[in-house]
């Protein structure tokens, strides 16, 4: 079994965004099923949502259209549209989780930012967590 997967904790992976620790080593994030730590999955969700579709050279279809959310009106219909798009995106690119909540926490059209709170459930363990994503 690879060294990045250990039964007692779950698994580890390189942190996103890629960075070094103060000791000069590569920063790692983990998923620990015993403690409910979902850092690696949270980083993966943020990466998928904040990456523009077409931005990755060899994976043109990977990513989302986060800019579309910034210029949409903050209405219930638009919220349902955005939640549906994010749910489909996570089902395709992050199959370890299912989306259970999508709420606009803050919208700032002057700065062109929207902050979303996404609640998700890890499918295998049923552990619930949430992440805030600014796009």
Taking each helix axis from N to C terminus, what angle separates 76-93 and 39-50, rounded to the nearest 10 degrees?
Answer: 120
Grade residue 1 by pLDDT with cuts at 50, 70 and 90.
very low
Grade residue 21 by pLDDT with cuts at 50, 70 and 90.
confident
Q: In the 8-state DSSP scheme, what is residue 91?
A: H
Taking the C-alpha atoms of residue 94 and residue 72, their distance in angstroms, rounded to an integer, is: 25
**Phi and psi at residue 15, to the nearest 5°:** -65, 150
Alpha helices by DSSP H, listed for the chain, are: 39-50, 66-70, 76-93
Peptide bond just before 106 cis, omega within 30 deg: no
Do residues 103 and 110 touch, judged by C-beta distance below 8 A? no
Grade residue 2 by pLDDT with cuts at 50, 70 and 90.
very low
Do residues 53 and 60 touch, judged by C-beta distance below 8 A? yes
Residues 6+ apart with CB under 8 A from 124: 96
Taking the C-alpha atoms of residue 84 and residue 74, their distance in angstroms, rounded to an integer, is: 15
pLDDT digits (tens, 9 = 90+) for 58-107: 878 787 776 666 666 766 677 778 778 888 888 888 888 888 988 888 87
- The predicted model scores a pTM of 0.74
* Domains, the chain: 5-134 (3.10.450.40)
């Amino acid at each position: 079994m690879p060294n990045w997967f250990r039964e007692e904790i779950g698994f580890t992976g390189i942190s996103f965004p890629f960075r070094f620790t103060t000791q000069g080593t590569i920063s790692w994030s983990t998923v620990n099923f015993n403690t409910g730590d979902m850092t690696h999955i949270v980083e993966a969700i943020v990466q998928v949502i904040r990456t523009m579709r077409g931005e990755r050279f060899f994976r043109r279809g990977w990513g989302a259209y986060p800019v579309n959310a910034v210029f949409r009106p903050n209405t219930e219909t638009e919220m349902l549209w955005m939640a549906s798009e994010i749910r489909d995106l996570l089902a395709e690119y992050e199959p370890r989780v299912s989306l259970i909540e999508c709420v606009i926490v803050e919208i700032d059209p002057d700065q062109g930012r929207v902050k979303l709170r996404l609640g998700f459930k890890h499918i295998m363990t049923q552990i619930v967590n949430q992440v805030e994503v600014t796009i």
